[in-house]
Amino acid sequence: MDLVIRGARVVDGTGGPSYTADVGVHEGRIAEIGRIRSGGRHTVDAYGLALAPGFVDMHAHSDLALLRDPDHSAKAAQGVTLEVLGQDGLSYAPVDDRTLAEVRAAVTGWNGAGEDIAFDWRDVGGYLDRLDRTGIAVNAAYLVPQGTVRAYALGWEDRPATAAELDRMRTLVAEGLAQGAVGMSSGLTYTPGMYASGAELTELCRVVGSYGGYYCPHHRSYGRGALAAYAEMVALAREAGCALHLAHATMNFAENEGRAAELLALLDAALAAGADISLDSYPYTPGCTTLVALLPSWANEGGPRAVLARLGDDAESERIRYALEVTGADGCHGVPVDWSTIEIAGTADPALGSYVGTRLRDWEGARRLLLADRLGPTVLQHVGHEENVRAIMRHPVHTGGSDGILQGAKPHPRAYGTFPHYLGHYVRELGVLSLEECVAHLTGRPAARLRLADRGLVRAGYRADLVLFDADTVAAGSTYENPRVLPSGIPHVLIDGRFVMRDGRRTQVLAGRSVRRAPYRGR
């Protein structure tokens, strides 16, 4: 054996009872589980530690962070061994030069402007190849971003696609899946993805389903129209014959306090009727997004330059204010904005850093900051409800996703703390889930959604993507005040049998690689 892990409490990712065993690793895979009498080149004494499959972050925004930050301790230290990128309908492939420039400007708040990145790819395969050439800290899968595809095919206009444009989008989605994407994402409160009709999305989902991928929508509302928006996605995916994975599934804003049961009843009815549905969530109440995303969709039409022009026009600015504060903008989920809930988490321009950690007072303050930072600010939106968070994470099709935005001076603590927060706070302290259940939510279940035949379980022959943690002490270190603190109680993390964390410290190993969709032979 290359490595023998002795005396671990094996929590294998199935949800079944844990057990004590030795685990042997050879040539990057789990070779033996049980009582291993032979030695190994290396040995880890795991008595008192739990051994689980590496955690899968089903909703990550590390699209550029993996390229710019070889350390990537924000995720590696949590025990994450695989992230799913290309989320919320906006990422960097497939693109042409025009679309790339527009997307970079639109999501500066998520990933930075990217001046430090050589964008030497244009398609999905090229991006995945670039991850492999660069060498990355953890594994990465990718979703074709529907908003980027729409921007590529017809720009940032709020209009139906022509037949030719729809054909072009179908082709772009098919090419991305053929090149290894695991599915397609949407951001249906973000432009230009939100301009797509249900019929348009259904046609693209037919392509996704034909490749065995899944549709991952950030749907049209998490606020006033949340239940209707969830129902739309369920019906759409069923009509298209496509698996559905609901992104950061929650019920936010005052309108939805205590209403998680209604969402879960909707999902249970669809599951009972044969729908293929899963979801992810993060174990916190505030959301995180860009400040510009809160604006009404018509204010974002035409792309970032057009938005800045409208913000600079007093009459247009007043229209935006009225939509935000009085009628409820679709970008703010149909709910009139409560500025006291909006906290600045980061700015693209370091000179504006004094805004970080402050709450906005009114539209004029938000407008000035958007103009000064050229749409760069990220925000925390304090609109969630704890009882909804707990109810949703208990559901059998639930998985874990951080939705972690690593950009900004004061990011959401979920970026550094999601997985240990599940294990420490919700398992050990509150008992919302058992340890075995929680590990299954973070490992075996997401691996099944991704159709990964050899990841997500502690099983002989599977890849040795493993995490060793102390179930009695594991905890998130990140807080709202100090969000970049690493967790405690996770001494060892391995990818393909190589230590990326050892004795609680990041090694120099770059064991990650792109994880591409396996060929699909139908149901």
Same domain, 154 and 185: yes
CA 433, CA 7: separation in Å to the nearest integer?
A: 24
CA 513, CA 455: separation in Å to the nearest integer?
A: 14
CATH code for the domain of 206? 3.20.20.140
**H helices within 211-256, ranges in order?**
226-240
| Closest to 397 (Cα-Cα) out of 435, 452, 449, 453 | 449
Q: Which of 331, 363, 382 is the last residue of a domain?
A: 382
Per residue of the chain (523 residues), what is the pLDDT tens digit? 999 999 999 999 999 999 999 999 999 999 999 999 988 999 999 999 999 999 999 999 999 999 999 999 999 999 999 999 999 999 999 999 999 999 999 999 999 999 999 999 999 999 999 999 999 999 999 999 999 999 999 999 999 999 999 999 999 999 999 999 999 999 999 999 999 999 999 999 999 999 999 999 999 999 999 999 999 999 999 999 999 999 999 999 999 999 999 999 999 999 999 999 999 999 999 999 999 999 999 999 999 999 999 999 999 999 999 999 999 999 999 999 999 999 999 999 999 999 999 999 999 999 999 999 999 999 999 999 999 999 999 999 999 999 999 998 999 999 999 999 999 999 999 999 999 999 999 999 999 999 999 999 999 999 999 999 999 999 999 999 999 999 999 999 999 999 999 999 999 999 999 999 987 555 4
ω into residue 70 within 30 of 0, thus cis? no
Q: What is the DSSP string of 417-437?
A: HHHHHIIIIIIIIT-SS-HHH
CA 382, CA 329: separation in Å to the nearest integer?
A: 17
CA angle 39, 8, 400 (to 5 degrees): 130
Q: Which of 412, 431, 454 is the last residue of a domain?
A: 454
Same domain, 279 and 293: no
Same domain, 265 and 236: yes
Domain-embedded: residue 518: no
Q: Which of 330, 348, 382 is the last residue of a domain?
A: 382
Start-to-end CA distance of the chain, whole Å, equals 38
Same domain, 344 and 432: no
CA 450, CA 446: separation in Å to the nearest integer?
A: 6
Domain-embedded: residue 49: no
CA angle 269, 273, 279 (to 5 degrees): 60
- The parent domain of residue 325 ranges over 289-382
pTM summary value: 0.96
Main-chain dihedrals φ then ψ at residue 45, nearest 5 degrees: -80, 105
CA 429, CA 28: separation in Å to the nearest integer?
A: 34
Q: Which residues pair with 172 in a beta bridge?
A: none
Same domain, 411 and 376: no
Q: What is the DSSP string of 444-476?
A: HHHHHHTT-TTSSS--TTSB--EEEE-TTT-B-
How many distinct structural domains can be found in the chain?
2
